Structure 1
Amino acid sequence: MTFYDGEEKRLFLEFVHDTNKAIEWAKSKNINWTHAMVYNRRTREKIERLINNKT
């Protein structure tokens, strides 16, 4: 899972079992991000793009 702020890579997490927990952890560390990409760890295929809803 990779977090981006615009086009800049902000954080890379190699093994993520729960994307919601990873997002909460990034928020708790005050990491600014606009979107995150989730990849299959074996094939490196993109699974999903998550948008940060700054509410």
Structure 2
Amino acid sequence: MAAFAAIPHIAEQLTKEQILERVQVTNVQSLVVLILLLILFKVKAMEQRM
């Protein structure tokens, strides 16, 4: 949530192109985090079955 709160402040300082670059980077980072979380949940589920 803190990242969303910072967006307007960042937007005032950057151009649209720079904002797009940052958004793309954060999208990639969030995708990686989601994938890691999915792997962790699958590992935990498999451990519980055994």
- TM-score bracket, shorter-length normalisation: under 0.3
Point out the structure with the larger strand share: 1
TM-score by length of 1: 0.26
TM-score by length of 2: 0.27
